[in-house]
Amino acid sequence: MPHPLENKRALVTGGSRGIGAAIVKRLAHDGAHVALTYVSHPDHANATARAAQALGVQALAIHADSADATAVVAAVERTVQAFGGLDILVNNAGIAVMAPIADYRLDEFDRMVAVNLRAVFVATQATIAHMAPGGRVIMIGSCNAERMPFADGAVYAMSKAALVGLVKGLARDLGARGITINNIQPGPIDTDMNPADSDFGAMLRTLMALPRYGAAEEIAALVAYLAGPDAGFVTGASLMIDGGFTA
């Protein structure tokens, strides 16, 4: 099946670069029309949309700060208006603010929860109003939901661990409608936000079974599987793709 997602309609939050951009391009490669949101770097966002369009699908970039619930809902509605519906939602947008708990500012805590958790709920709630049976909701969580082996990451780990429970609960809510929902938990992935050739990357590799970082395209491949026809019986799952970080 060369285009298993042909004519499906997808929205990827935080899709301008890194893992998000790889997801946009993979969904487009598999035949889906794709919208992506971004909060900064419109040049990256537009370049990603053009790369998707070059694969023969419709694509658009939407400016929307995931910390703003109104903007998140508007992005969903704009996607539906542009494509005539919505079949796939990938909640990829996320931030990581690392700091000792004694120094952690409440505004930083609130923004982390707003982007990593509240926006996921808001986007999902807005999207399922437009989804037919066969719809797919996919979260991009983190292996740190299961293992946080260094200091200063407690709030980030909390925000990603909450997705595990949200997905399990929503699997029950959405299952009767024929909509699946799953959570992907990447380990260290080589992006400009977390480069493999950094000192931090060298430390993380000592914690892994496979002594390398993952590639964004490997995460995108798992997203494509969950979005596709072969994953119709997978729901409520949190799937680790971490090179053995949590082994």
Q: What are phi and psi for residue 90, nearest 5 degrees?
A: -115, 110
Q: Which residues contact 218 (CB under 8 A, 6 or more apart)?
A: 189, 241
Rounded Cα gap, residues 50 and 130, in angstroms: 26
Rounded Cα gap, residues 139 and 26, in angstroms: 16
Q: Which residues pair with 91 in a beta bridge?
A: 139
Of 75, 27, 45, which is closest to residue 222 (Cα–Cα)? 27
156 is catalytic: yes
What is the chain's Cα-based Rg?
A: 17
Q: Are 237 and 181 in contact (CB under 8 A)?
A: no
Q: Which residues pair with 201 in a beta bridge?
A: none
Rounded Cα gap, residues 95 and 191, in angstroms: 14
Q: Count Cβ atoms below 10 Å from residue 62 Cβ, excluding itself.
A: 20
Task: Write down the catalytic residue from 104, 156, 213, 225.
Answer: 156
Rounded Cα gap, residues 157 and 67, in angstroms: 18
Question: Annotated active-site positions, please?
Answer: 156
